[in-house]
Amino acid sequence: MPKYSLVGYDSSETSQRAFRFAMELARACSGRVRVVSVLQVTQGGADACALMMTDSATERTRETLQELRTLDPDTDMLVDLEITHGSPGDALLNQVRQHPVDHIVIGHTERGALARWLLGSVSEDVLAGAHVPVTVIR
């Protein structure tokens, strides 16, 4: 049974369902949940990006914790939260290498072919690169 589940979280309905699923699993298995939210930087120089990410990450951490607490009252006891930056798929796979994650839970949102081609699919990236079990929540 999983002891440390990783959840990719972006406040979407499917990521909220993924978080709830991981929390139920953590309670059932006496485990923990690592929630990771990825900030994506799309434009600006390196200095501007670094400043923006620091400010954004601090605010995003506060907002995400508050949101998670409304979704599940056990958040403070069972959740480790990290706000990071980069490509969501790569960031989640890096978490598995850096922490003792033994299970990934991610939400999947249907997109059209053009959106998948332009933006990629986090769930497809994670499924292709993960070396731990992955649960995709729809």
**Among the listed ranges 19-28, 77-86, 116-125, 127-136, which one has the minimum average pLDDT value?**
116-125
Ranges of each domain in the chain: 8-137
Q: What does the pLDDT look like over 63-106, one tens digit per residue?
A: 999 999 999 999 999 999 999 888 889 999 999 999 999 999 99
Say which CATH class 8-137 falls into: alpha beta
pLDDT of amino acid 94: 96
pTM of the model: 0.85
Annotate the chain with three-state secondary structure: CCCEEEEECCCCHHHHHHHHHHHHHHHHHCCEEEEEEEECCCCCCHHHHHHHHHHHHHHHHHHHHHHHHHHCCCHHHHEEEEEEECCHHHHHHHHHHHCCCCEEEEECCCCCHHHHHHHCCHHHHHHHHCCCCEEEEC
pLDDT of amino acid 57: 74
